[in-house]
Amino acid sequence: MTTGVLSLSPGLMRFGQLAATIGLLALLWRIADGPETARILSTAEPIWLVAAIGALTVQTVLSAARWRLTAGQLGIKLPAMHALHEYYLAQMVNQAVPGGVVGDAGRAVRSRGQAGLLAAGQAVIFERLAGQIAMFLAMASAFLATLLIPGGFDWPAWLVPPVLLMIAVGFALPAALFAGANLPGRIGAKVMGLWKDMGHALAAPNVLPMQIVLSAGTTLCNLAAFAFCARAVGVVLPPVVILALVPLILFTMLIPLTISGWGVREGAAAALFPLAGATASEGFAASVAFGLVLLVAVLPGLLTLWLRSQEDG
C-alpha cells in the first residue's frame, strides 16, 4: 500500500500543479478582464517579441558559459557547445515538466562522469544560485533606493512589508550559512565544506570578475526580455520599474505551485503593473507574452534531443 501511494505521488503532484495552473489562469481571466487581455495580445508588435527572444537567447548563452566556468572550478571540464546544448535541453524540460528543476537535475546527472554526482550537482546548483543572487541584488537595490529617495516610486503600503521581509531574509541567508559552518561536529563540517566549495566555484579570484559579468548579463537579459514583452503590448516601463518591479514578478516563477510559473507570474504582473500606471489586463498580457516567448526561446533544446537520438540510433 505504501509503495502504491508513493508511486502515485509524482503523478498526483503533476496533476495538482496542472490544475493550479489552469485554475489561476481562469481566475485571472475573470478578474483581469480576459477579453481585453486577449485583445491586447492580438495587437502585440512582433518586433518587440523578436527582441525578447533575442534577449533570452543571449541569456541562455551567458548562463551556459557561467555553468561551464562554475563546473571547471569543481573539476568538471565542459566543452562550450556541449554546455550550451545541455543548457537548452534543461530549459526545455523545465518548461514542460512541473517543478522547474527536472531539467537541471538531468544536466547534473549527465555531467557527473569527471568528478562524481556531488560535484556535478553543486555546479548546477551554484550556477543557478549565482543568477538568482544577481537578480535579487538588482531588485533589492532598486527597491530600497526608490523607497528611501523622495519621489523615487510610490510603493503601496501593503507591498512594502513583504518585500522588505524578503530582502532581509535574502541578506540573512549567507550569514546563516556561515554560522552553520561554525557549528561543532559533522553538521558544521558538512556546511563548511559546502561553503568552501561554493566560494571556490563562485568567488575565487580567478573567476569572480567573470562570474559577476555573466550573472549581471543574464539578469539584464531576463529583465530586458520582460520589458520588451511589455513594450510589445503597448506598455513602456521606465528603467527603475524594470529593476524594482519586474524581478518581483519573475521571482514568483520559483514558487512550485504551477507549471513553469504560469498563473502565479501572471497574477503578480496583473497586481503590480497598475503601480507603473498600466492596467491589470496589460500586466496579464505582458506576462502571457513573456511565457510564450520563453517557450519559443527554449525550442533549440529539441535540436539537442534530435542529435542525441541520431547518436543513439
pLDDT of residue 5: 42
Mind listing the pLDDT tens digit for each residue in 43-73? 999 999 999 999 999 999 999 999 999 999 9
Residue type, 209: P
How does residue 158 score in pLDDT terms, banded at 50, 70 and 90? very high
284-293 pLDDT, tens per residue?
A: 999 999 999 9
Angle between helices 46-73 and 208-232 (to 10 degrees): 160
Regarding predicted confidence, which is higher, 8 or 85?
85
- DSSP class of 299: T
CA-based max dimension of the chain: 64
Q: Are 127 and 103 in contact (CB under 8 A)?
A: no
Cβ neighbours, 10 Å, residue 154: 7
DSSP state of 207: T
Confidence check: pLDDT of 268 > 90: yes
Distance CA 229, CA 83 (A): 28
Domain regions of the chain by residue span: 47-312
The answer, yes or no, to whether residue 226 has pLDDT greater than 90, is: yes
Rounded to whole angstroms, the Cα distance separating 53 from 59 reads: 10
Question: Which ranges of the chain would DSSP assign to H, the alpha helix?
Answer: 2-31, 34-42, 46-73, 80-96, 102-110, 117-148, 160-181, 185-202, 208-232, 239-244, 246-251, 264-272, 280-297, 300-312
Residues 6+ apart with CB under 8 A from 305: 89, 92
Tens of pLDDT, residues 188-208: 899 999 999 999 999 999 999
Task: With cut-offs at 50, 70 and 90, classify the pLDDT of residue 181.
Answer: confident
Interior CA angle at 226 toward 253 and 24, to 5°?
Answer: 40
